[in-house]
């Protein structure tokens, strides 16, 4: 469906805010503009739910999760940054692999299958976008992805 991503993202974040523990804050850095993208909304909810719940899950001491959207050429760029455990630099590229979980011992305690980001990557790539991560161990993680913007001059399709 053709979707105003900013509006859609606000709704997803609203749901997280409703049952967030007191030590976590969500900081929205979303432009006050209409950014249209073609998305399967249910699938995109799955992507955002996993990225945001990872940010919360891997922030044992709480902190602020920053949610940013910007425009880069004809792409929408979404970034979700946390101040959590981070990921060792040599493992960052593997977090999108199926069943991969960094720091098995700690992760096992937190629960999960290690499929969330692999599914997120499949969904983003099916939408002709890309997804990657930046992280510093002990400092935090940023997950970024792009989606092609709808060409405004063209209508319908």
Neighbouring residues of 126: CB distance < 8 A, sequence distance ≥ 6 = 43
Of 52 and 147, which CB lies nearer to Mg ion in the complex structure? 52
CB of 29 to Mg ion, least distance (A): 22
Rounded Cα distance between 129 and 116, Å, is 17
Neighbouring CB atoms inside 10 A of 47's CB total 27
Q: Is 50 in the site for ligand ATP (CB under 6 A)?
A: yes
Strand 24-29 versus strand 63-72 pairing type = parallel
Q: Is 54 in the site for Mg ion (CB under 5 A)?
A: yes
> Judged by CB under 6 A, which of 9, 66, 82, 127 binds ligand ATP?
82
Of 54 and 85, which CB lies nearer to Mg ion in the complex structure? 54
Sign of the CA dihedral with 33 first, then 26, 55, and 47 last: negative
Question: Residue 1: which of ligand ATP, Mg ion, none does it interact with, CB under 5 to 8 A by kind?
Answer: none
Sign of the CA dihedral with 56 first, then 50, 135, and 105 last: positive
Give the footprint of ligand ATP on this chain (CB under 6 A). Answer: 50, 54-55, 58, 82, 84-87, 95, 100-103, 107, 112-118, 141
Give the footprint of Mg ion on this chain (CB under 5 A). Answer: 50, 54, 116
């Amino acid at each position: 469906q053709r979707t105003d991503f900013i509006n859609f993202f606000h709704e997803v974040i609203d749901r997280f805010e409703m049952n967030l523990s007191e030590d976590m804050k969500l900081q929205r850095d979303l432009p006050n503009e209409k950014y249209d993208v073609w998305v399967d909304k249910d699938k995109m909810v799955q992507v955002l739910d996993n990225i945001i719940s990872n940010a919360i899950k891997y922030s044992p001491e709480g902190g602020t999760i920053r949610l940013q959207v910007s425009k880069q050429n004809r792409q929408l760029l979404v970034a979700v940054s946390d101040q959590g455990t981070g990921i060792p630099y040599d493992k960052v590229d593997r977090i999108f692999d199926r069943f991969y979980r960094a720091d098995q011992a700690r992760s096992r305690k937190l629960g999960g299958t290690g499929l969330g980001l692999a599914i997120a990557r499949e969904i983003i790539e099916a939408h002709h976008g890309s997804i990657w991560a930046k992280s510093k161990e002990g400092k935090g993680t940023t997950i970024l992805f792009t989606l092609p913007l709808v060409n405004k001059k063209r209508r319908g399709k």
